[in-house]
Amino acid sequence: MTAFCFAVNCGKIALMERENLTRFAWLSIAAAIITIALKSAAYWFTGSVGLLSDALESLINLAAAIVALLTLRIAAQPADEDHAFGHDKAEYFSSGIEGTLIFIAALSIAYTAIRRLLAPQPIEQLGIGLIVSGIATAVNLSVALILLKAGKKHHSLILEADGHHLMTDVWTSVGVVLGVGLVSLTGWLRLDPIVAILVAVNIIWTGYGLIKRSVLGLMDTVVAPEIQTVAEEVLKKYAEKEGITYENFRSRQSGMKKFFYVDIQFPNDWTIHHVHEIADRIEVEIVDKIPNSTVFSHLEPFDK
């Protein structure tokens, strides 16, 4: 009963947080639209395939932001008869979809870059193009920092993934700008498509990481070791203080939620009331120290 109560309370808190987090997804969508417009303008001014690759990556940012918004809304739905543990795993589908879209973008960039590598073209109006691209990069950097801070504060994998993706885009843009600038200085036109190919490789690596995280999440991966240690320290404290023991301590991560399971043994002469009182205190302390967590404890006497 105690675990069920904690699950209900955590579910209500998570629902409120999810609903509030959608504003960050809207911010990411707005930033993606602005940067697409700016980077497309930069490509139009210069004809640089490197800047084109940067613009294509921003299209993926827009798609990822839209998927994040939809996923946050799905994950915010409370537990029901068909989904007793809630809908938090929708976050992992978001990561998988985003990773797949990134692969598609990388292939498009590589195809365009290889064609330009075989038939180099001069870059025009480079100064204006770089200024416009720089403004777009500043927008992405600002939004990425906001998303990373919000993701860490609210323990949202979706916002953290979106923030890291945007930060990757920032570094990609910096590399593209430097590469295109070197084209202007050296006159080596093939450097432009080479930069675009490097961007494609970097994007593929990002996509691989997102898909890997999605697969691991769907397979009920344990929570981060440092977080699990916090929960186990609480168990160790009560084991030493109250004279109980515990075993089969395990955990799993489901989106922003964390679930802990443990078997607790107690002296045979303890009353049911006293046993549950100790278990309640353990569960409350773990939940207080680890936001969005639920603890399930199985209680049994020393002589089973």
pLDDT digits (tens, 9 = 90+) for 2-54: 444 444 444 444 444 555 778 888 898 999 899 999 988 888 888 777 777 77
Residues 6+ apart with CB under 8 A from 252: 220, 221, 222, 223, 258, 259
Is a pLDDT exceeding 80 seen at residue 266? yes
| Integer CA distances (angstroms), 103 to 46, 55, 77, 171, 210, in order | 26, 15, 30, 18, 11
Cα(35)–Cα(68) distance, rounded to whole angstroms?
A: 18
Distance CA 204, CA 103 (A): 6
Q: How many residues does the chain have?
A: 304
Give me the chain's average pLDDT, please.
79
Q: How is domain 225-301 classified at the architecture level of CATH? A: 2-Layer Sandwich (3.30)
In sequence order, which ranges of 47-125 are alpha helices (DSSP H)? 49-75, 90-118
The rounded distance, in Å, linking the Cα atoms of 225 and 232 is: 10
Q: Are 292 and 155 in contact (CB under 8 A)?
A: yes
* Dist CA 108 CA 79 (whole Å): 40
pLDDT in tens, 47-94: 777 777 778 778 777 877 888 788 777 776 777 777 766 666 666 676
- Residue 10's pLDDT is 47
pTM of the model: 0.63
Burial (CB count within 10 angstroms: exposed 0-12, middle 13-18, buried 19+), residue 210? buried
Superfamily of the domain at 2-218: Cation efflux protein transmembrane domain (1.20.1510.10)
Residue 286 pLDDT grade (very low, low, confident, very high; cuts 50, 70, 90): very high
Number of Cβ within 10 Å of residue 140's Cβ equals 29
Domain limits of the chain?
Answer: 2-218, 225-301
